[in-house]
Structure 1
Amino acid sequence: MGFPAKTATSPGLVALRRGLASFALGVLAGATMALADPLFLSSSAALSAAPSGQSSELATVSVAARVERLETTDGFHRVALEGWARAGASRVLFALPGKRILVASIAKDQVDTLEQTGEVVDADTGITWNRMRIEGWIPEAAAEPQIDPIWSAAWTFFTERCTACHQRRVPDHYTANQWRSLIKVMGPRTGLPEEEQMLILAFLQHHASDTIAQRPNTRTGAVIAPGR
């Protein structure tokens, strides 16, 4: 008894199946993106336990910090924030391990709400850095879907206010940590409020000699690999 002959599959049917598979994957990817859209803080903001100005404050999120939007309701975004904390000092989160680019300051009584999601050991210093995650609510008006407008404002402040005493410095001529020390001294001389000084600092640190290759994509927030 012979086996049934194989039925030939037309090229058109194969293409259709591939198209349907691609469409299904696209739908799944779109659903994931809808649940976790990148946002960037246009000003520092309180991270609250509930979508209300009356709820307990979990942390203060820094200007230009990147968060993931999980949902939006009643003028508030529920977001997830990740940052790096030195082992034993979880109240201060930074954008990168070993780089003092402030992302958030956690309230003293809310440290237990942090979830550790990773760990690295600095090969040069031997210091352990823990990647921490926290979720909460921020005002919808405090965040932008793209970093470009935020960096544009920072660049304007930098070019207009940071040349009164000296020639404008080049961002990638200094490391992120060097910029923190420089702005601590030079920032007050700009005459700008502290919020704008912190915006300039965030811009310079993200464009420093040791971070420029890890800068976020201006549209999606994804990290751009060196050479791209």
Structure 2
Amino acid sequence: MCPTIRHGAWKGAWRGLTGSEIIMLKNIPTKSVVTILAIGVLVGFAIVGSFDAFVDYTSSNEFCGTTCHEMDTVTQEYMESPLYKNNHGFRVGCADCHVPKPLFAKLWRKAKATKELYHKVMGSIDTPEKFEAKRLILARSEWQRLRESDSRECRNCHFYEAMTIETQPNTARFWHPMAMDEGYTCIDCHKGFVHRLPDLAGEIQKAAEHFEAVLAADALSEDRLYIARAAALYSGVSTEDGTIAELEPGTPLTVLERRDGWFKVRIQGRQYQTDNHTLYDIGERMVVLARAQGGSIQIGENVTRNDATGLDWRPARMEGWVSRNNVTSQIASLWDYGKAIYQNECVRCHVLFSPSDFWATEWKNKLHNMRRKAGLSAGQTEILLKYLQHHAKPQGMI
């Protein structure tokens, strides 16, 4: 009889067994039980060890860089970066940035990566041309992953607590304290450090071409139109007539008359205290619609005080003629263009704030400070500013 059967801890186990089953268990030698358990443990270790070795291998630079020719482009970029070779003699591997260290996060990352087998079979990025066409999508996916994990892989090596902020370059000395206070994450600012950035300027160009196509196809049959690009307001139906105002992109127009490719329009807005040369939007945001020359703004008498800002406003309007080449009935297409400029230009250097994070007046100051760093034309900068201002936080709201 197996001596362990006599122990009280096993008595309850016998009650549910038949006589033949009890006899069979009694006949199993103790050594056999130990052997089976030992084999089970060894097999378990072998499975776990093999799986761990497999995970480690699929996280190695060798696997990442040489298994698939689709990775040739980014591998070459990595090998030319400071993370691969530098005067300090350290090297950061592919997995250090792209594979989480916590077990469950790592396994989930590996599971999600199995979809790449499908794209391998389908040849989604099996040529340099296909890869470049998908580079922006791939980059945004990885940026989003890092953002959602609060740049976990970056923080394996970099710690705010270990930084000597006062000795950092000017830009870092400004942004790192702000990032700590506001909860920004590493990838918000640090893009394109190892792998080449996507063709963001090309994305802006595509958006510009689409916007121009919308303008060309616009019948302009509506009585409600908008300024599509900065334009002059004339006193008559010719550029030889005197200019009475400069109109900003997004300014709403009410059409009063049409003549030979020109529109006589009215711009309804408000006038701010003693500023008799600027027409502002009627809404809750201080957005400039037009800058008038002379006394072309017709100003009403009623004064309204804005409780949020403490400013006094009077209703105002102006009338004049604009060329059909500078207007659109599709205001959404103008804002789509402005959004494309914002998402593909400002993302190069820092976090993308929501337009509603700041007042319209704050956006004006921010773009003024950043314009020398941006590779935008004057027209693109104006459209970007108006997109942000028209979607900004209401003036005075905390």
Q: What's the TM-score, normalizing by structure 2?
A: 0.41
In structure 2, what is the Cα distance between the partners aligned to 1:128 and 1:115?
13
CA contact (8 A) 1:60 1:104 kept: yes
Q: Which residue identity is paired with 1:61?
A: L
Q: Is residue 157 from structure 1 mapped to residue 341 from structure 2 by the alignment?
A: yes
Note the C-alpha offset of 1:57.
0.9
Percent identity among equivalent residues? 23
Do 2:277 and 2:297's aligned partners in 1 also have CA atoms closer than 8 Å?
A: no
> 1:130 maps to which residue?
314
Say what the alpha-carbon RMSD is for the aligned residues. 2.3
Which residue does 1:139 correspond to in 2?
Answer: 323
Aligned residues of 1:117 and 1:132 also touching (Cα < 8 A): no
1:41 is matched by which residue type in structure 2?
I
Unpaired runs of at least 5, structure 2 = 1-220
Equivalent residue, structure 2, for 1:83: 269
Structure exhibiting the larger radius of gyration computed from Cα positions: 2
1:94 correspondence with 2:280: yes
- Find 1:114's aligned residue among 293, 298, 303: 298
Question: Corresponding residue for 1:21?
Answer: none
Contact 1:45 1:61 in 2 (8 A): yes
- Equivalent positions of 1:128-207 (< 5 A) are 128-207=312-391
In the alignment of these two chains, the number of paired residues is 176
Per residue, is there more strand in 1 or in 2?
Answer: 1
1:67 aligns with 2:248: no
8 Å CA contact 1:40, 1:143 repeated in 2:
yes
SS in structure 2 of the partner of residue 172 of structure 1: helix
Higher helix proportion = 2
Q: Aligned partner of 1:164: which letter? A: R
Q: Which has the higher contact order (CA 8 A, sep 6+)?
A: 1
Question: C-alpha distance in 2, partners of 1:184/1:134?
Answer: 28
* d(CA) in 1 for partners of 2:232, 2:301: 22
* Helix, strand or coil at the partner of 2:366: helix
Q: Secondary structure at the match of 2:304?
A: strand
Q: Paired residue for 1:39?
A: 225
Distance, in Å, in 2 between the alignment partners of 1:55 and 1:164 is: 43
Give CA deviations for 1:64-107 in whole Å, capped at 9, x if unaligned. Answer: 11111111111111000122221221101111477431100001
229, 239, 243: which one aligns with 1:57:
243
Aligned partners of 1:188, 1:146: CA distance in 2, in Å?
Answer: 30
- C-alpha separation in 2, matches of 1:70 and 1:81: 11
Partner of 2:115: none
Alignment of 1:48 onto 2:234: yes
Gap regions ≥5 residues in structure 1: 1-34, 212-228
Task: Provide the rounded CA distance (Å) in 1 between the counterparts of 2:393 and 2:373.
Answer: 24
Distance 1:104 1:98 in 2: 17
Shift of 1:205: 1.1
C-alpha contact (below 8 Å) 1:100/1:180 kept by paired residues: no
DSSP 3-state at the match of 2:276: coil
After superposition, the C-alpha distances for 1:184-211 in whole angstroms (9 at most, x for unaligned) are 1123321111221111111111111227
- Aligned letter for 2:354? V
Q: Could you give the per-residue CA deviations for residues 21-47 of structure 1, whole angstroms, max 9, x where no partner exists?
A: xxxxxxxxxxxxxx9811111111111
Kept in 2, the 8 Å contact 1:117–1:133? The answer is: no
**How far 1:124 moved relative to its partner?**
4.2
